[in-house]
Amino acid sequence: MMIRALTSVRASSTDHPFSVLHSPFSILIFAVRASATPRPLTQTVLTRAVRAAYGFVNLATIRYILSLLFRMNELPIGIFDSGVGGLTVYRALHDRLPNERFIYLGDTARVPYGTKSLATVERYALENSSFLASLGIKLLVVACNTASALALPAIREKVGIEVVGVIGPGGRKAVEIVREFGTDARIGVIATEATVASNAYIDAIRRASVEPKVLQAACPLFVPLAEENWIDQPETASIAEKYLAEVKAFTPQALVLGCTHYPILRTVIQRTVGLDVKLIDSGEATADEVAIILAKNGLENAAAPGKARELCDDLDHFYVTDAAERFGRVAERFLGARPQRLEAIEVYGVDELEQRPAR
């Protein structure tokens, strides 16, 4: 595993799209949306779009955008999480989309997000999104439940590419599973305290169907148990029995694993609630929806890589904002492999950047 030295990355928090995003595709999309540009996108059409949107144009940038436009399907998919939990989402995406490459950002310096204010979560999420967009990605997956619950609208407003959270897909998949039960449908949701308090999964389920009854339960100790790989210990089984007692009594037909750490404890959770309860991994549901979005927009990478893909191989790039060695160890527990390309970086906004002494 290679860990590169700490790098400072400026993620602007200003409102101007050129400042927020450095991806040429984001510039393209902002320009086209702003000017209602017709298709096809020739150099002349794109030049007019950018000039109409921003009042100026740089022909070198236009040519660069056009040179890459028809290779957009080859760009990687970006993923960010507040820490290591999003690795289960990465695994689901990797398994579902073997031809794709991925860039993962774990904001390990600022974890957890669940104790932060809405404004702070939004700022962190925008900084993370801007960093990934600056690397050139075709789609962004917000693998953090807290950021998905609180910051998706802000991210979508700033980022000119498709953005997929983990809550909506998980909620919709649960509704699909229980639809046959009609008004007798029952869905359980287990998540962190912050996600439960946000009611984000209830809202997602209600947007898909008003029929299912929904019960939520917070399981905060599942996160450290997963990170320490305490999967088969009797203490884990005892904690699961306590946390899931009310859920078990509710007898749901489907149970949403509403935290990206929880799939690591899937076996003990399934054993506790009963084998007849369908467990919904929000990461797997998200991967299914990402596959549909890529196909719908012609963004699938049809070209298979020149070698057999493996989790954490050198075609995927991992970034963390702190504790890279620990991230590598947890990745090995979660995925069975350490990232071959792991880099420590620092992501911060303009307000913080301007207060730092010159280097």
Active site residues: 144, 259
Distance from the Cα of residue 164 to its chain's centroid: 7
Closest C-alpha to 290, from 190, 146, 154, 142: 142
Alpha carbon distances (Å) from 305 to 72, 73, 77, 346 = 16, 13, 15, 30
Alpha-helical runs (H) found in 103-143: 118-134
Strand intervals (E) in 244-310: 254-257, 278-281
DSSP letters of 297-328? TT----SPPSS---TT-TTSEEEESS-HHHHH
Q: Which amino acid is at 310?
A: E
Q: Which amino acid is at 258?
A: G
Rounded Cα distance between 206 and 197, Å, is 16
Three-state DSSP at 62 gives helix
Q: State the virtual CA torsion across 214, 220, 225, 227 in degrees, nearest 10.
A: 100
Rounded Cα distance between 20 and 119, Å, is 17
